[in-house]
Amino acid sequence: MEIGVIGAGHVGLTTAAGLAAIGHQVCCADGPENVASLRRGEIPFFEPYLAEIVGKQLAASRLRFTTAGEAVRLGRALFICVGTPPLENGEADLSEVEQVAQVVAQEATSPRLVIQKSTVPVHTGRWLQQYLKQHGRADCEVASNPEFMREGSALEAFFHPDRIVVGAESPRAVSLLKAIYGPVISGQFTCPVHDTCSPRGAVPFVAMDLASAELVKLASNSFLATKISFINLMADLCEATGADVQRVAEAMGLDPRIGPAFLRPGIGFGGFCLPKDVAAFVKVAEKFGCDFSLLREVEKVNRERVDRFVNRIRIELGGLRARRIAAWGLAFKPNTDDLRNSPALAVVRNLVAEGAKVRAYDPQATERALAELPALQACADPYEAARNAEAILVLTDWDEFQRLDWRRLKECVSHPLVIDGRNVLSHDQLARHGFRYISIGRVSAGQVAAALTSVT
Ligand code: UGA
């Protein structure tokens, strides 16, 4: 099928590459500068496998980069994947969605299915439908198809989603979307990232009305954020009582009604999606007279994580001024170079502001971080960052931090102390190499004794 994808950010580019890989002819549109570099096969951000798949689909002429007008003229189905960043008041900025609506109204040559993939407030689809009607395009139907991609494993999420959610008012639109995603739904195709994907069965295809589909996305991200803030508070309680949050989370997660995912405590959730979507959800609820202040608490707990962690470092080092600190990880999560709302970067920024000397390493995000925080000393690997350090901080849970040579690290540092903000390292392994190890919500035997004394 001829498909237009408007917006070549994380969601748009992954969608375009994925749709091309399952056999569609895809025109992906963005601004002229982006289009020029994408045509050369240059991807403006890091996402595993994306550059390879884009390159392959370009070579096979199933994917091309173009203007919004051309994508609208050529695509029978049009995916809107433009940004909806937060305004000052937390509401989503829909100006780019409106610009796409204008292009559709002007350029569509015959009926189109306009599929909203950007994360938008409830009733945006209804508004879009109304807009097209008022501009003489009653023949264009609007559907919602929220995306649940995760940065760092976006293609895996495209080819093996947990579910495909579709909101539409007509059976025709539902059928068209089912046809578009046919190979993914059936699982009967050769996945281009097969090495990393575990093959699964058929994917649930869930069709509903427009408003419900629009709510699924914000509700899902807000619920995930709630789980994280809950487990972070649990970690505090575990520290106060001498319990181990890992064991608590593990046992809680065995209940299928709770599930094990998103129960990892740490320095908080970041990125472009969770913080923005929680704020947008609160606004949507307020607008419709529903009190979702529960989510205000979720945000508050999350905001406090960075301060709490920095305070812990301050206590351990007896102050921060002129302290030599190694920061491992800057991105908001592993397998990405995205620094937006990164708790890791926030920790580093606070340390630098208080006069600490921070040597930082991140496998992908160091360069971007330097642009934001020039006071940072960027290092080429974790060993270089650890040189002469009084403390090593783990701020992003990159896999490679679990495969380091601790004997070598012991020789690099000036004080063998690791403060793990992501709970990715092993206490036993570090203790064997003579490191003192502090993590989140897991206290050492000495601290348990102190906690018990303070209770009795
Ligand atoms: C999130 C959702 O997980 C996706 O389903 C959704 O499609 C996407 O937003 C979106 O709206 O586009 P993403 O922002 O890529 O995906 O990142 P997550 O994997 O959700 O992680 C968000 C933050 O939570 C990270 O900072 C991560 O370190 C943190 N996190 C995650 C925890 O602190 N604990 C956990 O147990 C899990």
CA-151 nearest atom, ligand 1: 15
Atom 2, ligand 1: residue with shortest CA distance: 150
Q: Are 105 and 134 in contact (CB under 8 A)?
A: no
Output the CA 269–ligand 1 centroid distance in Å. Answer: 7
CB 147 near ligand 1, within 6 Å: yes
Output the CA 226–ligand 1 centroid distance in Å. Answer: 12
Atom 11, ligand 1: residue with shortest CA distance: 273
CA-333 nearest atom, ligand 1: 28
Q: What is the pLDDT along the chain (456 residues), one digit of tens a residue?
A: 999 999 999 999 999 999 999 999 999 999 999 999 999 889 999 999 999 999 999 999 999 999 999 999 999 999 999 999 888 887 889 999 999 999 999 999 899 999 999 989 899 999 999 999 999 999 999 999 999 999 999 998 999 999 999 999 999 999 999 999 999 999 877 777 766 566 677 899 999 999 999 999 999 999 999 999 999 999 999 999 999 999 999 999 999 999 999 999 999 999 999 999 999 999 999 999 999 999 999 999 999 999 999 999 999 999 999 999 999 999 999 999 999 999 999 999 999 999 999 999 999 999 999 999 998 999 999 999 999 999 999 999 999 999 999 999 999 999 999 999 999 999 999 999 999 999 999 976 445 545 545 544
If you ran DSSP here, which 8-state letter would residue 203 be given? P
Report CA 43 to chain centroid distance, whole Å.
18
CB 305 near ligand 1, within 6 Å: no
CB 150 near ligand 1, within 6 Å: yes
pLDDT, residue 265, reads: 97
Q: Residue 63: what are its φ and ψ, rounded to 5°?
A: -130, 135
CB 264 near ligand 1, within 6 Å: yes
Pick the CATH number of 227-449 from 3.40.50.2300, 3.40.50.1110, 3.40.50.720, 3.90.245.10: 3.40.50.720
List the CATH code of the domain at 2-208.
3.40.50.720
Atom 17, ligand 1: residue with shortest CA distance: 150
CA-227 nearest atom, ligand 1: 36
CB 270 near ligand 1, within 6 Å: yes
Output the CA 270–ligand 1 centroid distance in Å. Answer: 7
Contacts of 11 (CB under 8 A, 6+ apart): 81, 117, 118, 147, 149, 154
CB 302 near ligand 1, within 6 Å: no
Question: What is the best residue among 224, 252, 362 to mutate for testing ligand 1's pocket, by most ligand atoms within 8 Å of CB?
Answer: 224
Average model confidence (pLDDT) for the chain? 93
Atom 18, ligand 1: residue with shortest CA distance: 150
What DSSP line would sit under 109-176, residue for residue? -S--EEEE-S---TTHHHHHHHHHHHTT-TT-EEEE------TTSHHHHHHS-S-EEEE-SSHHHHHH
Output the CA 342–ligand 1 centroid distance in Å. Answer: 11
- Which candidate in 273, 290, 379, 412 is catalytic? 273
Q: Residue 301: what are its φ and ψ, rounded to 5°?
A: -55, -45
Q: What is the pLDDT of residues 204-255, one digit of tens each?
A: 999 999 999 999 999 999 999 999 999 999 999 999 999 999 999 999 999 9
Q: What is the pLDDT of residues 174-201, one digit of tens each?
A: 999 999 999 999 987 777 776 656 667 7
Question: What is the best residue among 269, 337, 340, 398 to mutate for testing ligand 1's pocket, by most ligand atoms within 8 Å of CB?
Answer: 269
What DSSP line would sit under 228-261, residue for residue? HHHHHHHHHHHHHHT-BHHHHHHHHHTSTTT-ST
Q: Are 199 and 139 in contact (CB under 8 A)?
A: no
Atom 19, ligand 1: residue with shortest CA distance: 150
AA letter at 216: V
**Catalytic: 140?**
no
Q: Are 216 and 165 in contact (CB under 8 A)?
A: yes
Query: How many CB atoms neighbour CB 39 within 10 A?
Result: 12
Atom 9, ligand 1: residue with shortest CA distance: 273
Domain(s) labelled CATH 3.40.50.720 in the chain stretch across 2-208, 227-449
pLDDT, residue 195, reads: 60
CB 273 near ligand 1, within 6 Å: yes
CB 262 near ligand 1, within 6 Å: yes
Q: What is the pLDDT of residues 69-120, one digit of tens each?
A: 999 999 999 999 999 988 888 788 999 999 999 999 999 989 999 999 998 9
